[in-house]
Every structure is written in structure tokens, then in C-alpha cells.
A and B are shown apart, each in its own frame.
Chain A
Amino acid sequence: MHRSSTLAQLPIGSSALIHSMPTGRAGLTRLRELGLTPGVRVKVIRRAPLGEPLQICVRGSQIAMRNHEAAHILVTPAEA
């Protein structure tokens, strides 16, 4: 049930809950400040035509990031 994967692995169109991300890295702190805190629900909207970056919806805002960051963000599947 609690099989966790990373945000970078989520299929397009799916939703998940942020489980955890490593602390103390400036880039990830900024993502937190944009609303990606543990427990929050995110939805993967699309990838850019060349495969990166990744566009997600969090707290009603649209944010794009690269795999480099997304691969560090652990998520757990959200029901529904």
C-alpha cells in the first residue's frame, strides 16, 4: 500500500501526496516555499516536448521543475 516512488516517476495525469524530500538543499527549500510540503497533494500535468521539465499543480498553482529536483521528492499514491 505504502509503496513510495519519486515525483519524477509519476505518470502524467496522476496525483500523489508528497511524502518527504531531503532537507537542507537550497533548491528543494525553494520548492517547499512554493507549497510542496509533506502531505500536500500534487498532480502531474505534463512534460515539455523534449521530456523535461515537468509541470505539476500544487495548491492550485502551476510549477515546472527538472527531473534533477523531482527525482529527490518521494511521493505516496493518493486515493482517487
Chain B
Amino acid sequence: MSAPDSPLLAIVGNPNSGKTTLFNLLTGLRQKVANYPGVTVEKKIGECWSQHGKKLRLIDLPGAYSLNARSPDEAVLRDVLLGRRADTPRPDRVVLVLDAANLERNLYLASQILELGLPTVIALNMIDVAEARQWRIDVSALSTELGVPVIPMQATTGKGLLELKAAMSRADLPRPRWHSAPLPEDIRASVQATRARLLASGAIQEQASLLEPLYLLSDHDPLHAGIRDEQLAQIAQGRDALEKAHPGWEDQLVQDRYAAIEKLCARVLIRPECEPVTFSQKLDRWLLHPVLGGLFLLIFLVFLFYLIFKVAEGPMGWIEAAFASLGTWVTGLMPPGDLRDLLVDGAINGVSGVVVFLPQILILFFFIGLMEDTGYMARLAFIMDRLMSLVGLNGKAFLPFLSSYACAVPGVMAARTIDSPKDRLITILIAPLASCSARLPVYLLLLSALMPESVSLWVKAGIMVALYALGTFGAFVFAWILNKGIMRGASAPMILEMPAYRLPSLRSILLLVWQRARAFLVRAGTVIFGISILIWAASTYPKSDSPDASMRLEQSLAGRAGHLIEPIIAPLGFDWKIGIGLIGSFAAREVFVNTMAVVYAVEAGDEEDMTPLRDRLRQETRADGRPVYRPLVCISLLVFYVFAMQCVSTMAIVRRETGSSRWMWFQLACLSGTAYILSLLIYQTGSALGY
């Protein structure tokens, strides 16, 4: 597939060094985003042309602080650079992006990568920031010391891009000359012994160097490196041997490396005695102020949610209207019949119910992009960390969880910003407990059925808040349990880099929004499309010729399924009609309202106006003459909706984002199980007490 004359260049660097900006600058829209198989690390590939029309293939590798991997992201970087991933060829060259304003720290990863010996060019990015801090970097000395070209540049403006491209396409791009301190003899001997064993078992291929075994040995969780079980044991033994040969060997190596970097920096970097106070520092005095900082954060979040809930309403209405007229158009175009119903009632309706969330998703990701790009995201995590630590999560989990109050789908997608895999998984697992906007219509309907008009608005609002609080509380309890008990491995310590504030680049934000929106629409177009049709079919077939819609529904598969599950849900106080509603809710929770309208053959009127349906619910009686929707049943049903996992879209996205259906089923079982048990407790105790 790869033409031999178009070399593959890997863009690597620390997080926040400007890699993505550079990659976007080089490739524009000629890029593809996918996942590395087996892990949810984004794989971005693209291409660009040199001045002489030579094609270069580019791959943007995940940001990392070290080749001693501590996360799946870092493991991917290490494995690709070592040629250990079957799905990605080893790059021919490396474009090493360094943040000039964090040069010393960036040189840590840089020195590791240079030692791998691939032809390399260094993009000394953020040169403007370094200059503003009055740092003087001797570029030619740096280039001589490292043995590779160093191009000062500014990725946001494209300054230095031509020189970089010229260097990237140079046929004689040199291999680096850099070597930090040689390995201490005892460490070398021990790694050599382990290497022999790893070579024999096929865990590593590379014959010549000690680096591959060394980096594998320093990975505390080498599961994500494609290592088999028996090889894992070898690695554990190798670690023990190393620890015996040289206690504290890892820390020794870090120290030696920094000693070498300090010497290098002494020759190439001059920092002023007294740095000017930067704009970032001034801004942080306000934005991280003990009182004002929290206040500002609150205002910002209120504003964000105002946009998500209020401003998105308009476009959401347009989308619904557009789908509705598409439905009408198709209805007019086709003769009545099953096919038409399938298209209009099944496909168009179902997809519309999901696509309607697109405006909220666009707004949310625009803001997430904005916060990441400006550097405010790190501050948000900084402020919220203490609170999240109470349930064992860290500050980075705050925003994804909060987003889930709009819709769990973008919330789960936003969890990508959490770098600790464990925290990320927990956040994804608890996301559906945040009461999303699709539950709102259900809550409203049941609350109005529950309480006569005479009950004051305040009480209703109070119960509403209680429902939200219940979900939130449940989420925190789950997080706590998952953290303490179920998840493997100790949690990684929370270490947060606080980047300088930067002007956002609209281009990269829009690119991010576009990539997320596309992922979402592809879901809606495939999985959700299919499920909508299934659910439609279940509530349509087998057909009976009863003129009455509710009779037809009862005869259908869905109706029978409702009857079928009645014994299971009866202890919760639900009858088979509610069962149909629960089944329909799997398409999207708010479908409950429509389904109940069909079940009770109520003219589904205006969405806002639930009065006819509410009255009908109140009249509904059981065989013994007692009303079905007694307060106790309503409460049981409400609690069920707070906890149950009933949304296929979320399930589909959880599967995608965790890379396996295992967690999806686990989540379904846990949440729906909890919902069942709680509703059961409520209904049974309530009944026993005579309510």
C-alpha cells in the first residue's frame, strides 16, 4: 500500500507542545482519524507535499512525557516508535515537537526518542512564548549537540513551516548523535539477561538494542503492549531481578538523564535572572483566586448550560421540523403500506430522535475544544480536583460527567480527555446516572400524573431536584464502589500540567467539533438506524386488523413482550402496558411518552401539552378497580428511570469508547439491576405499609 518513495513521518512530543496544531497545519483536512485496534487511543494519519512535490505521509502520535509508559496513550507512542504494533508500520523519520518555553522538561522525552536512532528533525515550537519570557536558546548549538536539524517555529502562525518542510523531506536527514549517560553496569547486565529471555519467547524482536526490553520493564502495566500472559511473568521476573541488581534503578535512570539534560541546557539555554511576569500568571491570579476563581467557574458553567439547554432549543426545533417534513414528503411520495410506515415511523422517526441532540453536542464540543485550547481545562480540573477526589476520581473527570446531564453520549465521548484509563472507565460507567435531558419529558409526565394541579410548583420543582440529586448521588456511590473494589490496579497519582494560557485556534476547535460530530452521526446513521427499525417492527408486527391502535399494539411483538415481562416487573408495581413503554425506552427514554400515548390510544397532541395523556393515566385502573398510577407506582417508576440504563445510543458509544462490549454489558447489568432492586424495595415496602 505504501509507495516506497513516500516516507512515513511520525509527529511526536509532550502533551501540549503543539503537535496537533502542527499536524493540522501540515495536512489540513487531508487526515483520517481512527482508533488503534484494541485501545481507545486516537490514530491520526494524513499526508502533505514538500515544496518539490514529494509526498510525505504523516502520523500524529499521542502526546507523552516519557517512553516509560504510564497510560495506553504512552504505550502506543512507545510501541509505534519501536515498531511493535502490527497495525502501524514503524515510522521512517521522526518530527520531534519541542515546546521551547518548557525546553528542559521537553528534552526528557526528546532525549529518549533521539536514542532510538531514527532520522529526526526537531520543530522547536512556541518560540514566541519562549521569547516573551526572555529565554535565549542557542539553536545552532542545540542542533550540534543533538546532531539533528532544529527549526525554530510557531505552529499557530506557520512561522518556520517552510524550513521545517524542507528538512522533513531532506533525503539525507541525519540520525541523531545524542546519548545520555551510559547505563550503569549492573542495570545493563540485568536487562541483557532479561532481553535474552524475552527474545526467546517472542515478546520482543529487536536484536540490537537494550532499549526495547528496558522500556517494557519500566512499564508497570504492560498489558496494553500486546504482551501475552507467559511473557508478563517474564517481565515481572525481569523487574524483580533489576530491583535486586540495582534498587531504585528507575529513579536512578531518570536522575542520570536529567543530569545530562542539565549539562546540555547550560550550553544552549539562558534564562533571565528575573523573568517578566507573564500574562498567564496575571490571569491565574484572578481565575485561580481562592474565592473569585470558584465564582468565575460557576458563572462559566451556568453560561455553558444555558447555551446547551436554551440556545440549542432553536436548532433542535429546526431539526425536528426538518425530519417531520421529510416524513410528510415521503408519506406523500409513497403509496400507503408497510414500506412507507417502516421508512416514516421507523427509520425517520428513530434517527430524528437521536440527531436532535446534535446541536447540544456541537455546542458542548465547541466549548470543550475552547477550554482545552486556551488552557482553561487544566484550571477547571485544578479547581474541581478536591471535590472529585472524595469519590476517588480526579478533576479531569468533572467536565465529562457534567456534560452527561445534557446527554450521556457526548459525556462519554468527552471522557477522552481523562488520561488515567481507570478514571476514564469509571467516568464512562457512571455517566448515564447523570439525569440527561431525555429523561425530562418522562419525569414531567409522571410528576403531573402523580400530583394534582393543586400541588404547588415549588413542591414539583423540589421533587425534580431530588430526582437529579438521587442520580448524582448514585453516580458518586458507584464511582466510589468501582474505585475501591472492582477496578484492577492502584490509581495513578493525579499529576496535572498547567499550561500557559493561549489564544485558541478556531481552526483546530472546529476540526475537533467536526470529528466528534461525525463520529456521532455515523452512529446515528448505522446502529441507531437499525435499532429504530427493530423497535418499530416489534411494535407493528404481527399485524392484526383491529381498527384500534392500542389493540394493534397489544397484538404486536412489543405488546407480547410487555405481557411476557409482566411477571418480572409486577413486583415493582408495573403492568404490561408500562412494560411496553420500558421496552420502547431503549430507543431513547423520551419515547416512553409517545409509547404510552399509543398504548392508551390518546391522540398524541402537542408535545408540551401532556394533559390528555395525564388524565388518561389517572383514570387507568387495575382489575381490582384500584388506579394503576398510584403515587407509589409513580415513585417506583421514577426511581427506575433515574437508575436504569435504557439508551441504545449510550450503549453503542460506551462500547466504542471502551473498546469492548464487556463494559457495555457490565454497565447495563449494574445500572438496570440497581434500578430494579431499588424500585422493588420502594414498591414492596410501600405496599406493606399500606400505600
- A-to-B contact residues, CB < 8 Å: 23-24, 26-35, 37-38, 40, 46, 48-53, 55, 59-66, 68-69
Mind listing 12 A-B residue pairs with CB under 8 Å?
A24-B247, A29-B251, A32-B254, A33-B108, A49-B383, A53-B395, A61-B105, A62-B498, A63-B496, A64-B382, A65-B494, A68-B493
Inter-chain contacts of B497 with A (CB < 8 A): 34, 61-64
Cβ–Cβ contact A48 & B70, under 8 A: no
* Nearest neighbor of A33 in chain B, beta-carbon distance: B66
- B-to-A contact residues, CB < 8 Å: 65-66, 68, 70, 101-105, 108, 135, 220, 243, 247-248, 250-251, 254-255, 258, 271, 284, 288-291, 293-294, 378, 382-383, 385-387, 389, 395, 490, 492-500
Complex CA gap A61/B100 in Å reads 11
Inter-chain contacts of A59 with B (CB < 8 A): 104-105
Complex CA gap A3/B576 in Å reads 74
A52 and B389 in contact, given A24-B247, A24-B251, A37-B258 (Cβ under 8 angstroms): yes
User: From residue B20, how far is it (CB to closest CB) to chain A in Å?
Assistant: 19
Complex CA gap A64/B384 in Å reads 13
Contact of B251 among A23, A46, A61, A65 (CB under 8 A): A23
Inter-chain contacts of A32 with B (CB < 8 A): 251, 254-255, 258
Complex CA gap A34/B135 in Å reads 20
Contact of A55 among B254, B294, B498 (CB under 8 A): B498
Complex CA gap A70/B383 in Å reads 17
Inter-chain contacts of B290 with A (CB < 8 A): 49
Contact of A33 among B68, B102, B291 (CB under 8 A): B68
Cβ–Cβ contact B496 & A53, under 8 A: yes
Inter-chain contacts of A68 with B (CB < 8 A): 493
Complex CA gap A49/B288 in Å reads 7
Cβ–Cβ contact A24 & B243, under 8 A: yes
Cβ–Cβ contact B386 & A50, under 8 A: yes
Contact of B383 among A26, A37, A48, A60 (CB under 8 A): A48
Besides the contacts A38-B255, A53-B385, what 5 more A-B pairs have beta carbons closer than 8 Å? A30-B65, A32-B254, A32-B258, A49-B288, A65-B495
Cβ–Cβ contact B102 & A60, under 8 A: yes
Cβ–Cβ contact B492 & A26, under 8 A: yes
The 6 closest A-B pairs by CB, nearest first: A27-B493, A23-B248, A50-B386, A62-B498, A64-B496, A59-B104
A53 and B108 in contact, given A23-B247, A61-B497, A63-B498 (Cβ under 8 angstroms): no
Complex CA gap A48/B297 in Å reads 13
Contact of B258 among A27, A35, A48, A60 (CB under 8 A): A35
Complex CA gap A28/B248 in Å reads 12
Interface centre among A40, A59, A65, A69 (most CB of B within 10 A): A59
Complex CA gap A33/B220 in Å reads 15
Cβ–Cβ contact B251 & A64, under 8 A: no
* Nearest neighbor of B294 in chain A, beta-carbon distance: A49
Inter-chain contacts of B499 with A (CB < 8 A): 62
User: From residue A46, how far is it (CB to closest CB) to chain B in Å?
Assistant: 6
Interface centre among A32, A38, A51, A52 (most CB of B within 10 A): A32
Cβ–Cβ contact A53 & B494, under 8 A: yes
Complex CA gap A32/B494 in Å reads 14
Cβ–Cβ contact B250 & A29, under 8 A: yes
Inter-chain contacts of A26 with B (CB < 8 A): 70, 220, 490, 492-493
* Nearest neighbor of A27 in chain B, beta-carbon distance: B493
Complex CA gap A62/B375 in Å reads 12
Inter-chain contacts of B103 with A (CB < 8 A): 60
Complex CA gap A38/B248 in Å reads 14
Cβ–Cβ contact B385 & A24, under 8 A: no
Contact of A27 among B65, B271, B492, B498 (CB under 8 A): B492
Complex CA gap A77/B168 in Å reads 47
Inter-chain contacts of B288 with A (CB < 8 A): 46, 48-49, 55
Contact of A30 among B70, B102, B291, B500 (CB under 8 A): B70
Cβ–Cβ contact A30 & B385, under 8 A: no
Cβ–Cβ contact A34 & B65, under 8 A: yes
Cβ–Cβ contact A34 & B498, under 8 A: no
Contact of B386 among A33, A48, A55 (CB under 8 A): A48
Cβ–Cβ contact A69 & B495, under 8 A: yes
Cβ–Cβ contact A24 & B248, under 8 A: yes
Inter-chain contacts of A33 with B (CB < 8 A): 65-66, 68, 108, 254
Cβ–Cβ contact B105 & A30, under 8 A: no
Inter-chain contacts of B220 with A (CB < 8 A): 26
Cβ–Cβ contact A52 & B495, under 8 A: no
Cβ–Cβ contact A52 & B385, under 8 A: yes
A24 and B250 in contact, given A37-B255, A46-B288, A55-B382 (Cβ under 8 angstroms): yes
Inter-chain contacts of A64 with B (CB < 8 A): 378, 382, 385, 494-498
Complex CA gap A46/B379 in Å reads 12
Complex CA gap A38/B259 in Å reads 10
Complex CA gap A23/B248 in Å reads 5
* Nearest neighbor of B67 in chain A, beta-carbon distance: A33
User: From residue A68, how far is it (CB to closest CB) to chain B in Å?
Assistant: 7
User: From residue B316, how far is it (CB to closest CB) to chain A in Å?
Assistant: 35
Cβ–Cβ contact B254 & A48, under 8 A: no
Cβ–Cβ contact A50 & B293, under 8 A: no
Cβ–Cβ contact B248 & A34, under 8 A: no
Complex CA gap A60/B108 in Å reads 14
Complex CA gap A65/B498 in Å reads 11
* Nearest neighbor of B248 in chain A, beta-carbon distance: A23
* Nearest neighbor of A69 in chain B, beta-carbon distance: B493
* Nearest neighbor of A26 in chain B, beta-carbon distance: B220
Inter-chain contacts of B101 with A (CB < 8 A): 60
Interface centre among B65, B251, B293 (most CB of A within 10 A): B251
Inter-chain contacts of B387 with A (CB < 8 A): 50
Interface centre among B65, B220, B382 (most CB of A within 10 A): B382
Complex CA gap A35/B194 in Å reads 29
Complex CA gap A40/B105 in Å reads 12
User: From residue B53, how far is it (CB to closest CB) to chain A in Å?
Assistant: 40
Inter-chain contacts of A23 with B (CB < 8 A): 247-248, 250-251
